[in-house]
Chain A
Amino acid sequence: MNTLPKPNRFYSFVLPFLSHGKCGLLTVAAVLALFALCLGGPVLAQESPSDPRDQKIREMEKTLGALEERIDAMDRTKASLGGSWADKFILGGYGEMHANFGEGSAPDQFDIHRLVAYVGYTFSDWIRFHSEVEIEHAFVSSESDGELSIEQAYLDFLLSDPVNIRLGRVLVPVGITNRKHEPPTFYGVERPSFDRVIIPTTWFADGIGAFGGLGPSLKYELYLVSGLDGSQFSAVNGIRDGRIKERASLNEPAVTGRLDFFPFVQWPGPAGFLRLGASAFYGGVDNGNQGNNPGIDGEVLILSGDFEYTVSKLDFRGAVARERIHGAKEIGNGTASEIFGWYLEAGYRLFPESWKKGKLAKSDAAVFARYEDFDTQHRMPDGVAKNPAGDRREWTFGASFYLTPTLVAKGDVQFRDDASGNDLPTLIDFGIGWQF
C-alpha cells in the first residue's frame, strides 16, 4: 500500500485540479512554479534553506505522517480481520409502510409493504458474505399475498479491481430500481410502474458471475443465472410472474449483465453526478420451480438503457427497455412477442439551507414529477389479439421529506390511463421509508 501523509492544506488546494488528470497536475505545477518565482526570493532571503531546525521539522513531519498512516492501516486491518467475532458481522435493513387510497373501487389500505433485514459477514479481507431476507405485506399465509423470501444471499471473492467473483442469489442487474430500491433512494411512495411490469422488481436469480472496474469510470457486472418461467408470462403483467423465487430450475439458464459509465470521474464538466448504464438479460424460458419445467420452447431477450444525473439541486433519471419473447404464441396467456416501456423523472430539492440546523441539520425535502409509458402488448404474435389494457401511461407528482438522509416521508398522486378506454382510478399514496 502506498504511504501517504495526512491530508493538509496542500490537498485542499489541489483537490479541484485532481480530476483533470495530467493537464490538471501540469496546471498545478505551473501555478506552484510561478508562485515560487514570485515569492521564493523574499522568503529565501529571510530563511536559510540549510537551517538545521527546518530540516529537523521536515523529518519529524515525515515520521509523524508515516506513523499516522500505519495506525490507520492497523485500524483497517483490525476492522476487517483481527476484530472479534461480532465485529465481522454487518447488520442493516430497509423498510416501507404505505397508506394507499384510490378512487372508486380501488382499495384504501395501510400496508407494511416491505421489511428487509440485511446481514453481512467478513470471512477474510477478500471473502465477504451478504444477505437480505424480506417480508412483504406483513403476513404470510396460503390465502394472502404476503411473501417471505431470501432476496439476496451471495459470497464475494475479491480478487482484483477488474475481476471479482460473485456466487449465490444476486439481484438481476437490469435497470435502475432493481439494484437501487431502498425507499430513500427513489422518489414516490411506490416504485415506478415500469419497475413492476417492464423490469419487475425485486428480481433476483441464482448463479455465478464476475464484477469489477474497467478503468476508473467504467464498471461492469456479468452473471450466468437461473432463467425465467415462461409459462407464467401474461398479457398485462408481462414477464413479472415468470420470476422463480424458491428453487429455480437451471434447465435453461440466462446470461445477464450491465455496464455503467461515469463520465465526470475523469471529466469534471458541469458540477454534478452522471451515470449512463446499459444492461441486458438473455435466456430460455423453460424453467420452473423445484425442477418442474413447463416444457416451453422459447427465449427472452431484454435490452435496457438508463441514466441518473444530479446537478445542483436537480435530480433526473430515466430508463428504457425493450423485451423480445420468442415462442410467445406457444406460451399463450396473451403474451406479447415484444414489450416496450420507458420513463423519465425530474426532482428538485428545495429545503432551504437556513433551515438545516438543530434537529433538522441533516434534513432535506424534494418535489418530483414522473411520466411513464409502457406497453406489455407492444407487438403480438401472428393471430393473437392485443389486450389494450397492457398499453399504459402514468403521471406521478409528489413530495419527499427526509428527516435524516435515510429516513423519508413521502406523498404522491398518480393519474393513470390505458388504451382500453376504461377510466383507471386516480391513486393517492402516503408512506414512510428507511434504510440503515
Chain B
Amino acid sequence: MSKPFRGMTTMILALLATAGMVGGLSGCAAGGLSGGTDAAALRRGRAIFVTECATCHRLFLPAEYSPEQWSGIVRRMSARASLSGEQAADLERYLRAASRAGK
C-alpha cells in the first residue's frame, strides 16, 4: 500500500473509531434518561429528524410548517424513508412540538 493511500486509510479509520466512540457515549447519555419520559421521546424524535430527513433532502425547520401539516408530511415521508412506527411517532411528536414552539 502506497504512503498517501496508507495515510488516507489511517485517517478514515481514525474518523470511524472516533465516530464509534462518540456514538457509544451518545448512546450511554441517551440511556441515562428513563425510556418512558416525555423528554426522551422528544429527543429521539429530534435525532430522527436530523439523521433521517437530511439523508435525502434539505433539512426544513420545524417552524416552516404547522403541526397539522407536519402530521401529514411525516405519515407520507416515514414510509418513504422506511421508518418504523415508533420512529415515525417520535418524529411526529418532536416536529409538532417544535413547530408550536416556533423552533
Contact of A280 among B12, B23, B24, B100 (CB under 8 A): B12
Number of interface residues of B (CB under 8 A): 63
Whether the Cβ atoms of B36 and A2 lie closer than 8 Å is yes
* Cβ-closest chain A residue relative to B27: A215
Among A75, A215, A263, A324, the one with the most B-chain Cβ atoms within 10 Å of its Cβ is: A215
Q: Which of A17-25, A43-51, A391-399, A425-433 faces chain B?
A: A17-25
In the complex, A216→B44 CA distance in Å? Answer: 7
Whether the Cβ atoms of A120 and B75 lie closer than 8 Å is no
Q: Mark B1-39, 1 if CB is under 8 A from A, else 0.
A: 110110011011001100110111011011011011011
Whether the Cβ atoms of B22 and A125 lie closer than 8 Å is no
Which chain A residues in 205-241 approach chain B with CB under 8 Å? 213-219
In the complex, A184→B60 CA distance in Å? Answer: 13
In the complex, A87→B2 CA distance in Å? Answer: 55
* Cβ-closest chain A residue relative to B56: A180
Contact of B80 among A79, A92, A280 (CB under 8 A): A92
Which chain B positions have C-beta within 8 A of A15? 42, 97-98, 101, 103
Which chain A positions have C-beta within 8 A of B16? 259, 278
Q: Mark A120-164, 1 if CB is under 8 A from B, else 0.
A: 101001101010000000000000000000000000101001001
Q: Within 8 Å of chain B (Cβ to Cβ): is A322?
A: yes
Whether the Cβ atoms of B29 and A266 lie closer than 8 Å is yes
Q: Mark B70-90, 1 if CB is under 8 A from A, else 0.
A: 000001100110101111110
Q: How far is the CB of A160 from chain B (nearest CB, A)?
A: 8
* Cβ-closest chain B residue relative to A121: B79
Which chain A positions have C-beta within 8 A of B15? 276, 278, 305
Which chain B positions have C-beta within 8 A of A128? 79, 82
Contact of A273 among B22, B59, B96 (CB under 8 A): B59
A-B Cβ contacts below 8 A, count? 181
Which chain A positions have C-beta within 8 A of B55? 179-180, 219, 260
Whether the Cβ atoms of A260 and B50 lie closer than 8 Å is no
* Cβ-closest chain A residue relative to B93: A4
Q: How far is the CB of A4 from chain B (nearest CB, A)?
A: 5
In the complex, A189→B1 CA distance in Å? Answer: 38
Which chain A positions have C-beta within 8 A of B30? 21, 215-216
Q: Within 8 Å of chain B (Cβ to Cβ): is A264?
A: yes
Which chain A residues in 176-200 approach chain B with CB under 8 Å? 179-180, 182, 184-185
* Cβ-closest chain A residue relative to B77: A90
Contact of A185 among B44, B56, B80 (CB under 8 A): B56
Whether the Cβ atoms of B85 and A76 lie closer than 8 Å is yes
Whether the Cβ atoms of A130 and B43 lie closer than 8 Å is no
- Chain B: interface secondary structure? helix
Contact of B101 among A11, A264, A406 (CB under 8 A): A11
Which chain A positions have C-beta within 8 A of B92? 72
Q: Do A265 and B46 contact each other (CB < 8 Å), given the known contacts A182-B56, A276-B15, A305-B11?
A: yes
Q: Do A217 and B60 contact each other (CB < 8 Å), given the known contacts A15-B97, A259-B19, A275-B54?
A: no
Whether the Cβ atoms of B38 and A218 lie closer than 8 Å is no
In the complex, A324→B22 CA distance in Å? Answer: 30
In the complex, A405→B69 CA distance in Å? Answer: 15
* Cβ-closest chain B residue relative to A181: B56
Which chain A positions have C-beta within 8 A of B42? 11, 15, 18
Whether the Cβ atoms of A262 and B29 lie closer than 8 Å is no
Whether the Cβ atoms of A80 and B79 lie closer than 8 Å is yes
Which chain A residues in 1-22 approach chain B with CB under 8 Å? 1-2, 4-8, 11-16, 18-19, 21-22
Which chain A residues in 53-78 approach chain B with CB under 8 Å? 72-73, 75-77
Q: How far is the CB of A285 from chain B (nearest CB, A)?
A: 17
Among B2, B9, B23, B82, the one with the most A-chain Cβ atoms within 10 Å of its Cβ is: B82
Q: Within 8 Å of chain B (Cβ to Cβ): is A303?
A: yes
Contact of A265 among B5, B50, B102 (CB under 8 A): B50
Which chain A positions have C-beta within 8 A of B2? 324, 338, 379
* Cβ-closest chain B residue relative to A156: B82
Whether the Cβ atoms of A1 and B43 lie closer than 8 Å is no
Whether the Cβ atoms of B8 and A217 lie closer than 8 Å is no
Q: Within 8 Å of chain B (Cβ to Cβ): is A202?
A: no
In the complex, A322→B76 CA distance in Å? Answer: 38
Q: Within 8 Å of chain B (Cβ to Cβ): is A435?
A: yes
User: What 6 new A-B contacts, CB under 8 Å, besides A15-B42, A216-B30?
Assistant: A22-B33, A156-B82, A158-B82, A158-B84, A179-B56, A260-B55
Contact surface of B with A, Cβ cutoff 8 Å: 1-2, 4-5, 8-9, 11-12, 15-16, 19-20, 22-24, 26-27, 29-30, 32-33, 35-36, 38-44, 46-47, 50-51, 54-60, 64, 67, 75-76, 79-80, 82, 84-89, 92-93, 96-98, 100-103
For the complex of A and B, list the 10 residue pairs with the smallest distance between their C-beta atoms, beginning with the closest: A7-B97, A218-B23, A12-B101, A216-B47, A215-B27, A215-B23, A261-B19, A11-B97, A156-B82, A215-B26
21 contacts between A and B (CB under 8 A): A5-B38, A12-B97, A15-B103, A18-B39, A21-B32, A25-B33, A25-B39, A90-B76, A90-B79, A125-B84, A130-B80, A180-B57, A213-B51, A215-B24, A261-B23, A266-B29, A276-B19, A303-B9, A303-B12, A322-B8, A379-B2
